[in-house]
Structure 1
Amino acid sequence: MNKYKVLIIDDEPWSRQVVRALGDWEGHGLTIVGEAEDGTEGLLRIEQWKPHVVVTDMRMPGKDGDALLREIGQRYPNVRIIVMSGYDDFTYMKQAVRSRAVDYLLKPLDPAEFNEALANCVRGLDRERAEAGEAWAPAFARQDVHREYTAYRDRTHAGLLELNRAAVSEAFGKLAAFLSASVAPGEEQACVAAVTRDYAALLQPFLAEYELGRAADGLRNGLGDGLRDGEGLSPDLESEVSRPAAARLDGALSQAVASIARVYEDAMERAAVIRRNRNRLDLEAVRAYVDKHFLDAISLETIAQCFYVSKEHLSRAFKAHTGETVTDYMVRKRMEKARELIVEQELSIKNAAHLTGYDDIAYFYRVFKKHFGCTPGNLRGEP
Structure 2
Amino acid sequence: MDNGELYRILVVDDEILVRQGIKHILNWEQDGFQIVGEASNGKEALELIETLRPHIVLTDIVMPIMDGEELTRLIKHNWPEIEVIVLSSFSEFDYVRSTFQSGVSDYILKPHLETEMLLEVLRKTVEKLPAPSRVMRQNAESASASVSMQQTLEKLLAGYEVELDRAQAAEWFPYPYFYVLGSCGASSVLDELKALFPRMAAAKLPCGPISGYPRLSVHILNVDEEGREALPLKLRVLHPTSMTGEGELSWVLSDPFHSLNQLGGICREDWLKLLQYRFFLPQDAALMPSELPMAEETKEFPLQVFMEQIRRLQLEEGFNELEQYIAHHTKAYTAEVFEFKSLIGNILFNVIHMLGSLNLDVSALDEAKYAYFKAIDEARHISAIISLLEEFRRQAEDCVQVAQQARQEGNPSMKLLLDYIDEHYAEPISLTEMARHFHFNPSYLSSFFAAHHHEGFKEHLNRVRIGKAADLLRRGDIPISEISSRVGYGDHSYFCKVFKKSTGLSPTQYRRQYIERAEKDIR
TM-score range relative to shorter protein? 0.3 to 0.5
Which structure is higher in helix share?
Answer: 1
Q: Taking structure 2 as the reference length, what is the TM-score of the superposition?
A: 0.27
Q: Taking structure 1 as the reference length, what is the TM-score of the superposition?
A: 0.33
